Structure 1
Amino acid sequence: MPLAKSTPFPMEDCSRSVLEWDKFLALLSGYSVSTIGKQWILNLRPSTDRAWLDRQHSLVDEMRLLLNEGAQPGLGSLFDPISLLDKSRIEGAALEAEEIRDLMNLADDISGWTSLLRVPPERVQDRIPELNALSAALFTTDLRPLVESLRTKILPDGTLTDDASPELRRIRREMERQQRAIEDSLRSALRRLSEGGSTQDDLITIRGERFVIPVKSELKRRVQGVIHGASSSGQTVYLEPLETIELNNELVRLLEDEQAEIHRIFLAMTRQIAGYGSIIGEGAAVLAEVESLLVRARFALEFQSVRPRFSDAVSADFELKQARHPLLEKRLRNSGGTIVPLTLGLSSDERQLIISGPNTGGKTVSLKTAGLLSIMAQAGVPVPAEEAVFPVFENILADIGDSQSIERNLSTFSAHIVNLNRIAQIANSGSLVLLDELGSATDPEEGAALAVAIAEHFLRSQAWSIISTHLTSLKVYAANHAGVRNAAVGFDEHTLSPTYALRLGVPGASAGINIAQRLGLDPEIVTAARSQLNTQTRDIASFLDRLHAQLEELGEERRRVQLLEQEVARERNRLATEGMKEWRAKVRELEQKLHSLLKDFEYQARETVRAIDDRAAQQKLSKHAEQRIARLRREFQESFNSAVVADKTGADKGDQHAHPHVIRNISVGDTVKLRTLGRTGVVQREIDTNIFEIAIGPMKMRVARDEIAEVIPVRSSPIDAARRRGVSVSVAEPDPELRAEINLIGKTVDEATDEVEKFLDRAYLAGLPRIRIVHGTGMGILRRALRSMLERHPHVASISEPSQAEGGAGATVVELRA
């Protein structure tokens, strides 16, 4: 299944280059997190399939609902798995460690997406039917067993854990014992040789998977053994003493056994992945489309976009309200500017719009905005506007900008005519035609006649058309023909700058002579230019000037009314908000108490477990304690949220716990459960008949009698229970001067493991968020042993291998639990 699907029934001609569709796709693809999602976006095409359009916009709407609720699918591991899945199906083929890890992470993302759909946020449970339909095939197979099985065997760096198989565990235990025997033998040899001054350093190293010791070159013949290389200076040779050769041979054999077992495990894991191959491939295709939806939803949220509506053929409408060109808006944001929105409207009775006005007033931007937003809508992308209604266009045809072609020996005018002829042959009632500066680049009188004729042709063909012009004849044509509307772009003659606002229903004044006069052109030239205008042209210009002045006054009055309406709305919101302040303050206070109590509970529980001397009992209790802490934290948070919502909505008014019976018999020393927090505490003293001082851990608080849900029997603490079983208990104080790094180079596995466990306890008590363990590279035995232990340690949140600058494979970075 291709991950980047094609668009059904694509639009045949949409003037992609002129309307900057590819540039917009580049902007949109910047929200992608994977190459597959980016490719999906770059393959988007406008479609004429109304069912596909409705479904795509519904999917984007549902993804926006999820984003608004804070739920986001995990897509960080998305890639095209087809080649790896094909490889997994080949008999006898084994995937590499990195390939298995990538497929495991992809399967985890797929499983996470289906889990999100199975248990979505409460407010969107019944509002995402299209996303459920899109992912329906993924619900047939649960990938969690595969992910959990692989994750227990493979570490984040791609190496296998000791528990990947019983045989691998046995081999690695044998290797550890063999390594200790070799180290003991070599240390013994070092002690003998150092007395005679034969050794260069008191150090054991590895050459070619053989343990060796450094010996001075001039004394190498005094020591019996095999030389495995020399230092770069030549002053030291690395020698394997005769008594350790057999021990090293046995270690090499064990290494070969380990590699054979690793290969067998990888083969088994490959077969396991192959069994889930079809659902992983299907899931990757679904996630690719999910990412495209996520990209469009993020764009919609950032650019305040809306879902477009599509009008039917009977009552067709083309309306944009406060629309913005996304590429222009992005550019203006980066430069600190603001965009002026565009509002225009056409209907089945008025399908042609003539836009006039001065240069740089925004005529071309209006055409490009209408064209690009139409393509976006028919490609399933929300449009940046307050409201947008489009017909479903069969094609979008544009002639914008300088079309001069040197290669084809065409002038600007000739190139425009060639393009107009092509558009005229294609355009029909289902087309959107965008023409910029129609009738320009030739004799004004002939250009005006040609422009009117072309506009009449598209009017007769019932094509939707938007035409920009400076020609007075086209303005008059629009005023005198049914089905045509005039529109003007604004220009402030006082500041000599465009306002970019589009005003419907009136033609615009080009104002060339007025602008020239205000810019300081010689008055004689200006007077001569005005004298060249005929009476009709002067009258039209004068009328347009007066009309735009009146419209400007009306616009100012409208803005004042809008400001008053906004002030009224703000006052209404302020009054509504003040009524919530006391309730919100109470919620914040309770939330702070909840977090404080939870933090204290976690600390006490971990300290209790850590205080037990018996290591086996400590590890068992630690595991259960961490699980219980996580469950209680979740339960406390859910209970708190439910209580807050019930209080806010009034849902607790009919609840029997909303006004429960009051506990009468409460004595000092009783253990009681608090109704609001759901925690237990000990009664310290009775302040009066209705107020008690309750101790919850180290915290004391005053509680009303009706806040006490019940009196429960006192249970002994884990420390007391441990003491009664004969286990000694002590509590260690955290070390504030503790460093965040430990060096274990030269240590045996047992020694290193013991030191790391002690170091973890001290680091956790000191509140360190992260530590670094330096163990060296060697043969990887110490690294694997330590990482295997760290994976199971209750204080460890995650482990990772640092960059080469921080030690690479010779070190391990450990993130501690909060």
Structure 2
Amino acid sequence: MNQRILHVLEYKKIIEQLAEQAASSLGKERALALKPSIELEEVTQWQKETDEAAQVIRLKGYIPLGGIFDIKPSIKRTTIGGVLSAFECLDIASTIYGGKQLKRFVEEMEEPEMPILRGLVEGIVPLTELERKIRNCIDEHGGVMDGASDKLRTIRSKIRTSESRVRDKMETFTRSKSNMLSDAIVTIRNERYVLPVKQEYRGSIGGIVHDQSASGATLFIEPQVVVDLNNQLQESKVQERQEVERILTELSLAISEEQSLLYSNVEILAYVDFMFARAKLGSEMKAAMPTMNDEGRIHLKQARHPLIDPEEVVPNDIDLGVDFTSIVITGPNTGGKTVTLKLLGLFTLMAQSGLQVPAMDGCELAVFEQVYADIGDEQSIEQSLSTFSSHMTNIVEILKHVHERTLVLFDELGAGTDPQEGAALAMSILDEVVGRRARVVATTHYPELKAYGYNREGVTNASVEFDIQTLKPTYRLLIGVPGRSNAFEISRRLGLEEPIIETAKQQVGVDSQSVENMIASLEASTRNAERDYDIAEETLTKAEELYRDLQTQWKQFEEKRERLYTKAETKAEKAVEKARHEAEEIVQQLRQMKNQAEIKDHELIEARKALDETKPNLANKKKTSKKPVSKQEDKELRPGDEVKLLTLNQQGVILEQTSSNEFQVQVGAMKVKAKRNDLEFVKAQQPYKEKPMATVKGKGYHVKTELDLRGERYEEALNQLEKYIDDALLANYPRVSIIHGKGTGALRTAVQNYAKNHRQVDSYRAGGMNEGGSGVTVLELR
């Protein structure tokens, strides 16, 4: 990308923000060197990396990247025989440890969908032995420890002994000759212990003078008695330095041997830091990952310029490259036209650099080979001026390179010259760029360009909204609506007399006035459409949430009903089993009494068989025992007959005959299937007689042709509906009305879902205008 374009669109400021997010100098260096790519595959990969890093931040809140340093210069010095300092060795150990921590963190993550990050950290080699060797020699403050070698420990022990002996000797002077000293202290000059002696007592102390005070009143003298001791101490310190140098040389050699792995680790750590810097910047901007394409499509929802205060920025929607390839934006000064241009250009550069953009999810941006911008500096942050000549120079250069994979941004196209000539020139330039199939966004003040979007295929008008009431721009972009002059309205609001305004209006042509009226109407229609869309979207969201809640509640209801039914079966089984067990004991007692009473074996066998057949036929058992029923079992049963379900000892109503020997029976709120020999006839269905305004009472099934569920709770309403439909079927009604009201629509959805799944409901519909409208559902029964 052209450096001037990066400057005009303020790309560098984004890069500076990115560098601030890096945890190490390695990541910062990569961030500052970032440039947009023009390859779709590479840009898509960068976006995936940023998104994956953003997922880690969302899930974990952080990534361990502390203690990582740029050790490449140190590694390079070891390869040419250089000896590293203790601090440089310590930085290398710290970086090795940082790589191990990162590798462990990623490997312990439970989230499987992290292929990029896992692939990167697999390349980190934990050089544990080298790290241990450095840590054993150098402490956390960068000092070589006594334990680095036996020789160093011995030398330092000797140094401490010598220092102690020197201090002891010196302290005898501070006690016995304190009157000759400026201060009763021992100090150091030229790495040797000395005393601050007054000038007049120089001869009384004797020894070597190493320094004197600025005034000359104090001499720093090394007494003769400690000269030899100081000499021994200095020799030991020289030996210490030599041993430390040897240890550091040895460590540098060990580091040199692992140079390739260290370089590799550093590169991986730098890239991971760079990845997460991009993700952190996106999180700070509340940004989203754009879908990238190379077909010039741009779709942005609620896009916000990243360099404007989040509290003040106005989000805007921008579409380009599908229904139209060019946008001409008109509107008042300081209305936000130039900000829109810069936003689109900056978003493109950010996306092609692998950065997320501050817009809503689902945004889409294109990869362009070049982004060209002729944006007047008067609108830039620097507020410098630009001339018509400089504009044309830029435009001429742009026209040399424009093709279908370029994005062109023109600010105040044709400005700075005669309006008629400028407008004509602007339209000619636009025709040329549009003809080359480039993506174009241009701003202008010329009214002639308002009609340009209507007369050219692939071009649309847009404007920035202006609030007449407050006399301020709203900074909202209205695509499809050209800008209009607000001079008359503004003048009226500012107090200009009405006769003057009316006279001015008469000077304006009829066509111009009609265009302004049309634009005003378009603006109002656009605002109304946007408001209606927001309301519809909110309503749809609430409806979807309500539908999910109803689905959950229905599932819970079905599960609860199944649990209760299973519990009832289990309880019945236990009761029968208990009775059978007791009866078995009685049979055994009878057998024992066989000799005392004239009871035959076949009678005992028949008694036991009768007991076995008392076991109920439960719905969840595949094999059932049959019990002889009453003499009425041969009676033909019909839908609507009342029967007794012997297995449950409950009365119910036959709904239908499902096979030659099986019936579906309504028992309370449950529907069960039962064999003929498990049913005992109670009474036949009573013929239905119409009883106006009757209610569901007793066993006559005299029901209304409508059921009112308003105000009922969800589960209670379903129970009533289920019972009512059965009663209506028994009454042979062809159709019934269910009154559920309008409200939130929850009852209406529940009624219609139930009707949809009921075998006896042929169809359903909303009530007509004279039937209660959407507050009623009419069911057609079979």
Common fold: TM-score over 0.5: yes
Instruction: Please say if 1:84 is aligned against 2:70.
Output: no
Which structure 2 segments of 5+ residues have no match? 380-384, 551-782
Matched position secondary structure for 1:345: strand
Compute the displacement of 1:323 (Å).
0.7
Q: 1:282 aligns to what?
A: 264
**What SS does the corresponding residue of 2:404 show, helix, strand or coil?**
coil
**Deviation of 1:558 (Å):** 4.8
| CA displacement at 1:255 relative to structure 2 | 1.3
Deviations 1:276-299 (A, max 9, x none): 222223333333333322221111
Structure-2 residue corresponding to 1:250 = 232
1:363 aligns with 2:304: no
- Quick one: distance in 2 between partners of 1:200 and 1:14? 69
**Secondary structure in 1 aligned to 2:137?**
coil
Mapped partners of 1:529, 1:76: distance in 2? 73
Q: Indicate yes or no: 2:459 matched with 1:473.
A: no
Deviation at 1:271, TM superposition (A): 1.0
Aligned to 1:536: 511
1:130 aligns with 2:120: no
1:190–1:519 CA distance, 2 compared to 1 (3 A): closer
The aligned counterpart of 1:44 is: 34
C-alpha deviation, 1:193, in angstroms: 4.4
Q: TM-score, normalised by structure 1?
A: 0.61
After superposition, residues 726-737 of structure 1 pair within 5 angstroms as none
TM-score norm. by structure 2 comes to 0.63
Alignment of 1:780-799 (within 5 A): none
Go from structure 1 to structure 2 and tell me whether the alpha carbon gap of 1:438 and 1:90 turns closer, same or farther (over 3 Å shift): closer
The 3 A distance-change label for structure 1 pair 363 and 218 is: closer
Distance 1:486 1:115 in 2: 56
Do residues 177 (structure 1) and 161 (structure 2) align? Answer: yes
**Partner SS for 1:509:** coil
What are the Cα deviations for residues 739-774 of structure 1, in whole angstroms up to 9, with x where unaligned?
Answer: xxxxxxxxxxxxxxxxxxxxxxxxxxxxxxxxxxxx
Asked whether the equivalents of residues 48 and 393 of structure 1 are also in contact (C-alpha less than 8 Å), the reply is yes
Matched, 1:94 2:76: no
Distance in 2 between residues matched to 1:165 and 1:570, nearest whole Å: 72
**Which of 290, 293, 300 is the aligned partner of 1:320?**
300
Q: Which string of whole-angstrom CA distances, capped at 9 and with x for unpartnered residues, describes residues 193-245 of structure 1? A: 46xx5555543333333334444443343345444444455454444444433
After superposition, where does 1:449-488 map in structure 2 within 5 Å? 449-488=424-463
Equivalence map 1:227-246=2 (5 Å): 227-232=209-214, 234-246=216-228
Q: Computing the radius of gyration over CA atoms, which structure comes out larger, 1 or 2?
A: 2
Helix, strand or coil at the partner of 1:16: helix
Partner of residue 510 from structure 1, selected from 464, 485, 502: 485
* Aligned equivalents of 2:216, 2:337: Cα separation in 1: 81
In 1: Cα distance, 2:371 partner to 2:49 partner: 25
| Counterpart code for 2:36 | P
Aligned residue identity for 1:244: V
Q: In the aligned structure 2, how far is the partner of 1:546 from the partner of 1:321?
A: 24
User: 1:611-662: per-residue Cα shift (whole Å, max 9, x none)?
Assistant: xxxxxxxxxxxxxxxxxxxxxxxxxxxxxxxxxxxxxxxxxxxxxxxxxxxx
Query: Is the 1:355–1:489 Cα contact (8 Å) retained in structure 2?
Result: yes
* Residues 249 and 571 of structure 1: CA distance in aligned 2, closer, same or farther (over 3 Å): farther
Q: Map 1:135-154 onto structure 2 (within 5 A).
A: 135-138=121-124, 141-154=125-138
* 1:129 partner amino acid: P
* In structure 2, C-alpha distance between the alignment counterparts of 1:291 and 1:100, rounded to whole Å: 22
Does the residue aligned with 1:94 lie in a helix, a strand or coil? coil
Q: Which residue of 2 aligns with 1:548?
A: 523
Q: Secondary structure at the match of 2:482?
A: coil
**Which of 384, 408, 412 pairs up with 1:437?**
412
Mapping of 1:204-219 within 5 angstroms?
204-219=186-201
CA distance in 2, matches of 1:234, 1:411: 70
Match of 2:94 among 91, 105, 109: 105
Is the CA contact 1:215–1:239 (under 8 Å) kept in the aligned structure 2?
yes
User: How far did residue 426 of structure 1 move?
Assistant: 1.8
1:342 shift after superposition? 1.4
Q: State the alpha-carbon separation in 1 of the partners of residues 424 and 181 from structure 2.
A: 104
Residue 490 of structure 1 corresponds to 465
Does residue 1:63 correspond to 2:83, yes or no? no
CA distance 1:537–1:156, change in 2 (3 Å) = same
Q: How does 1:331-480 map to 2 (within 5 A)?
A: 332-333=309-310, 337-386=311-360, 387-401=362-376, 412-480=387-455
Aligned partner of residue 5 in structure 2, secondary structure: coil
- Cα distance change of structure 1 residues 480 and 250 upon mapping to structure 2, 3 Å threshold: same
Structure 1 pair 27/193, CA: closer, same or farther in 2 (3 Å)? closer
Contact 1:37–1:292 (CA under 8 A) maintained in structure 2:
yes
CA shift for structure 1 position 253: 1.5
The letter of the residue matching 2:11 is W
**Distance 1:228-1:360 versus aligned 2 partners, 3 A rule:** closer
Q: Select between 410-419 and 543-552 the one with higher mean Cα deviation.
A: 410-419
| Partner residue in 1 for 2:755 | none
2:204 is aligned with 1:222: yes
Q: Which residue matches 2:109?
A: 121
| Cα offset, 1:164, TM superposition | 1.1
Contact 1:363/1:468 (<8 A) preserved: yes
| Structure 2 residue matching 1:489: 3-state secondary structure | strand
Change (3 A) 1:148 1:524: farther
Distance 1:448 1:223 in 2: 100
| Helix, strand or coil at the partner of 2:144 | coil
Return the alpha-carbon distance in structure 2 between the equivalents of residues 560 and 15 of structure 1: 41
Contact 2:155/2:240 (<8 A) preserved:
yes
Instruction: Determine helix, strand or coil for the equivalent of 2:103.
Output: helix
CA distance in structure 1 between the aligned counterparts of 2:245 and 2:116, rounded to whole angstroms: 43
Alpha-carbon distance in 1 for matches of 2:460, 2:544: 35
Q: Is the 8 A contact 1:14 1:375 kept in 2?
A: no
1:564 CA displacement: 6.8
Q: Report the aligned-residue RMSD.
A: 3.3
Question: Does residue 24 of the first structure (1) align with residue 10 of the second (2)?
Answer: no
Please tell me whether the aligned partners of residues 25 and 42 of structure 1 are also in contact (alpha carbons under 8 angstroms): yes
- Candidates 72, 77, 82, aligned match of 2:63: 72
Which residue does the alignment assign to 2:245? 263
Q: 1:441 to 1:120 in 2, by over 3 A?
A: farther
The alpha-carbon deviation at position 192 of structure 1 amounts to 4.9
Render the CA deviation track for 1:60-97: whole Å, top value 9, x for unaligned.
Answer: 11221222213323255433x34322221233x32223
Structure 1 residues 569 and 158: CA distance shift in structure 2, 3 A: farther
Tell me what 2:291 maps to.
Answer: 309
- Structure 1 counterpart SS, 2:138: coil
What are the within-5 Å matches in structure 2 for residues 735-814 of structure 1?
Answer: none
Do the aligned partners of residues 170 and 550 (structure 1) sit closer, same or farther apart at CA in structure 2, a change above 3 Å counting? same
Amino acid at match of 1:268: E
Deviation of residue 109 (structure 1)?
3.0
Percent of aligned positions that are identical = 34
For structure 1, the 5+ residue unaligned runs are 1-10, 405-409, 576-818
TM-superposed deviation, 1:302: 0.8
1:655-680 C-alpha deviation (Å, 9 max, x unpaired): xxxxxxxxxxxxxxxxxxxxxxxxxx
Question: Which residue identity is paired with 1:48?
Answer: I
1:299 maps to which residue? 281
1:357 positional shift: 2.6
Partners of 1:428 and 1:462 within 8 A in 2 = yes
1:309 is matched by which residue type in structure 2? T
Contact 2:65 2:273 in 1 (8 A): no
* Structure 2 Cα separation of the partners of residues 237 and 467 of structure 1: 83
